[in-house]
Amino acid sequence: EVQLLESGGGLVQPGGSLRLSCAASGFTFSIYALSWVRQAPGKGLEWVSGISDDGGTTLYGDSVKGRFTISRDNSKKTLYLQMNSLRAEDTAVYYCANKVPGAHPFDNWGQGTLVTVSS
């Protein structure tokens, strides 16, 4: 059974930093691309960032470019999102999701971790 388990969320002040993790199991981690998708309270889904299967290619949405960094450790089967210079509008549940490389949808999703940016 595929499992994606996010952790690292919490309350942080504006301007602060947080590092999210997503531990994976149940599939061959190293051959899947991965992404972070967020959902602000009561709102829809927003793709945040993606990384290729080997980590060599990273992509970011305009709203987080220059502030967030995605990375992965294939030996630990873990995805990361380093979030710096956090703003109130970054408050959301952050989901990790996997996909086959190339033009494919998100196959599996985690249950998310809540990040709250507030003073």
Partner 1 sequence: EIVLTQSPGTLSLSPGEIATLSCRASQSVRSSSLAWYQQKPGQALRLLIYGASRRATGIPDRFSGSGSGTDFTLTISRLEPEDFAVYYCQQYDNSPWTFGQGTKVEIK
Name the minimum Å distance from CB 27 to partner 1: 13
Which residue, 77 or 99, is less far from partner 1 as judged by CB? 99
Which one of 23-31, 39-47, 72-80, 82-90 is the stretch in contact with partner 1 (CB under 8 A)? 39-47
- Amino acid identity for residue 82 in this structure: Q
Residue 116 CB neighbour total at 10 angstroms: 16
- Residue 113 · residue 20 · CB < 8 Å: yes
- Amino acid identity for residue 13 in this structure: Q
Q: Is the dihedral of CA 50, 19, 93, 113 positive or negative?
A: positive
Within 57-116, which residues bind partner 1 (CB under 8 A)? 59, 61-62, 95, 97, 99, 103-111
- Amino acid identity for residue 118 in this structure: S
Q: Which residues bind partner 1 (CB under 8 A)?
A: 4, 35, 44-47, 50, 59, 61-62, 95, 97, 99, 103-111
